[in-house]
């Protein structure tokens, strides 16, 4: 081809016009809000020089119903493409708020659907960067139909490829539902928000004044609604968080998670595990200290850190291999299971199961949280989700009971008969139908009423109950526990137990799908 000829010139002019579109005006607007542009975000997410854009020149036809507002820009407000993240293929779209508020019209939607289809076909993670005012109002039903097509693809891809949503500006109206179907939602503090209906509608319908942040800021979704799994202070760190998360995950459900090199055999002094859990069952401690001493150094990556903190979930590596960890947190609500923690735990287990990530449960739970609030809001059906998720999961599942394991909570937390592959206990474990005080109050009610010194009697009975019943040895002798282990040897035990489960295979009866109590 003649590089001075007409054809090549036109090609260059077109590309130059496109580059200019991403130039200074829009860029300045985004930067002035503390935000990066759609393209800058992709450049940070993908390995240097690996991102390839497709459909850059698509446009909405001016003949489409536009209510006097035509989107006269290449690309229709979204960049789609593929590249490599930490050396592995990935697909992404990134909405451009500077073009019609990143709103979703039919061309915009078709582009997102196209890249979703490609990611699914290629078995690679799909990342959506959202900065959008929702359905493009002037395109009417075509926008709504566009969203519906995206949601359907999200559902088809669920459990097949990892889907990650990164909210980096508004996610209003229809823009919130795709993220909520995907596996993980990242938000950037102060510059992102998510809501189904905005502050104006809230004012009109309910006559309440709320700010964007109060209604759907990152903190609200991290701490109160649980919609956001990760929140970072700026966009660069948010995107680094996405890369870190991906490093634990396989590219699709047919692969195993990637392995990392193990630099040292013994990474934190395991003898410290003997010191962390107090003998006094009423004393709290931080379960994250236990996790830290079991997994490979600095590999624990917590999910939903500030939501339902009575359960801790996250990924880590054990001897270089990805592991899902679900642990009760005795320092929050004494580690009891309530509605939010049950749902948080259940969703995490489903994720691990979808993507072949073995699961370790660290148990110290006095039971379900009692009370009117919990019962009236459905702890029965929400607690059942956790139970269901554990029993349904076919990945390798190991539980270590550190201290309390009472009642329904014993059953739920991957007990032997629920399908635990290996069930270990520390000598500090207390396994029984209920705690000593409650148990003796029921069994010895008459004797306690008639006693001259009921306090002393109750104390004696509780001690006897603990010695005779609420310990790990009864369960061990009956085979409900595979082994009572030395806390200092927990890491070693777990490495060899998970190795033994490496080729675990479960033949489940054929069915369309189970009916998890949603």
Q: Which of 409, 425, 429, 439 is catalytic?
A: 409
CB 193 to ligand HXC: min, Å: 8
Q: Is 113 a catalytic residue?
A: no
Shortest distance, CB of residue 11 to ligand HXC, whole angstroms? Answer: 30
CB of 134 to ligand HXC, least distance (A): 3
CA separation for the pair 318, 398 (Å, rounded)? 13
**Identity of the residue, 79 or 135, whose beta carbon is nearer to ligand HXC in the bound complex:** 135
Quote the crossing angle between the two packed helices 339-354 and 379-392, to the nearest 10°.
20
Residue number, 60 or 341, with CB nearest to ligand HXC? 60
Q: Taking the complex as a whole, how short is the minimal distance between the CB of residue 41 and ligand HXC, in angstroms?
A: 17
Q: Dihedrals φ, ψ of 356, to 5°?
A: 55, 40
Instruction: Assess whether 409 carries a catalytic annotation.
Output: yes
Q: What are phi and psi for residue 515, nearest 5 degrees?
A: -115, 75
Per the residue annotation, which of 26, 75, 173, 241 is the catalytic one?
A: 173
- Name which of 216 and 487 has its Cβ closer to ligand HXC: 216
Mapping DSSP onto H, E and C, the string for 105-172 reads CHHHHHHHHHHHHHHHHHCCCEEEEEEECCECHHHCHHHHHHHHHHHHHHHHHCCCCCEEEEEEEEEE
Q: Is 408 a residue of the active site?
A: yes
Cα–Cα dist 222/235, whole Å: 16
Closest to ligand HXC by CB, 174 vs 258, is 174
Neighbours of 241 (CB within 10 A): 20
* Token pair belonging to 479: 């085979």
Query: 376: which 2 tokens?
Result: 């009236």
Find the length of the chain. Answer: 518
Interface residues with ligand HXC (CB under 6 A) are 100-101, 103, 133-137, 144, 147, 170, 172-174, 177, 198
The helix (H) or strand (E) run that includes residue 52 is strand 52-54
Could you give the CA distance from residue 339 to residue 252 in angstroms, rounded to a whole number? 30
Q: Strand 78-85 vs strand 52-54: parallel, antiparallel, or unpaired?
A: antiparallel
Closest distance to ligand HXC from the beta carbon of 69 (Å): 7
Residue number with CB closer to ligand HXC (170 or 435): 170
Residue of 81, 174, 241, 383 marked catalytic: 174
Nearer to ligand HXC, 212 or 480 (CB): 212
Q: How far is the CB of 33 from ligand HXC (least distance, A)?
A: 8
Catalytic residue positions? 173-174, 408-409
């Amino acid at each position: 081809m003649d590089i001075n000829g007409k054809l090549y010139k036109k090609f260059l002019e077109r590309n130059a016009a496109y580059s200019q579109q991403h130039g200074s005006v829009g860029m300045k607007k985004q930067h002035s809000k503390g935000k990066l542009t759609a393209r800058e975000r992709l450049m940070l997410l993908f390995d240097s020089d690996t991102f390839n854009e497709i459909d850059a020149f698509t446009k909405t036809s001016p003949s489409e119903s536009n209510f006097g507002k035509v989107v006269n820009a290449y690309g229709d407000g979204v960049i789609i493409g593929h590249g490599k993240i930490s050396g592995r293929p990935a697909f992404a779209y990134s909405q451009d708020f500077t073009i019609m508020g990143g709103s979703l019209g039919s061309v915009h939607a078709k582009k997102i659907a196209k890249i979703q289809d490609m990611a699914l076909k290629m078995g690679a993670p799909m990342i959506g960067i959202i900065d959008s005012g929702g359905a493009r109002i002037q395109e009417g039903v075509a926008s709504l139909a566009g969203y519906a097509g995206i949601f359907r693809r999200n559902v088809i891809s669920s459990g097949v490829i990892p889907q990650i949503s990164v909210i980096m500006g508004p996610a209003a109206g229809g823009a919130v539902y795709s993220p909520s179907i995907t596996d993980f939602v990242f938000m950037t503090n102060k510059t992102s928000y998510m809501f189904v209906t905005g502050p104006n509608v809230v004012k009109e319908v309910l006559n309440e004044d709320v700010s964007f942040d109060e209604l759907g800021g990152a903190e609200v979704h991290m701490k109160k609604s649980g919609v956001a799994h990760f929140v970072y202070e700026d966009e660069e760190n948010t995107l680094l968080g996405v890369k870190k998360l991906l490093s634990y995950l396989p590219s699709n459900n047919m692969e195993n998670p990637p392995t990392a090199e193990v630099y040292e055999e013994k990474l934190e002094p395991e003898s410290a595990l003997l010191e962390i859990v107090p003998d006094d069952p009423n004393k709290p401690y931080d379960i994250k200290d236990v996790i830290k001493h079991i997994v490979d150094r600095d590999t624990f990556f917590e999910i939903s850190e500030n939501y339902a903190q009575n359960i801790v979930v996250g990924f880590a590596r054990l001897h270089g291999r990805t592991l899902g960890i679900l642990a009760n947190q005795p320092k929050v609500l004494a580690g009891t299971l309530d509605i939010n923690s049950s749902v948080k735990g259940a969703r995490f287990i489903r994720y691990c199961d979808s993507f072949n990530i073995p699961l370790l449960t660290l148990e110290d739970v006095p039971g379900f949280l009692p009370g009117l609030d919990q019962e009236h809001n459905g702890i029965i059906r929400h607690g059942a989700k956790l139970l269901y998720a554990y029993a349904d999961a076919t990945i390798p599942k190991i539980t270590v009971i550190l201290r309390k394991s009472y009642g329904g909570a014993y059953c739920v937390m991957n007990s032997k008969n629920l399908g635990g592959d290996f069930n270990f206990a520390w000598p500090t474990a207390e396994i029984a139908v209920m705690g000593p005080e409650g148990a003796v109050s029921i069994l010895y009610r008459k004797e306690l009423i008639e006693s001259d010194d009921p306090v002393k009697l109750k104390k004696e009975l509780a001690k006897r109950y603990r010695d005779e019943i609420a310990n790990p040895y009864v369960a061990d002798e009956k085979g409900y526990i595979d082994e009572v282990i030395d806390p200092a040897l927990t890491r070693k035990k777990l490495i060899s137990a998970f190795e033994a489960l490496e080729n675990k295979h479960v033949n489940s009866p054929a069915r369309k799908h189970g009916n998890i109590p949603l």
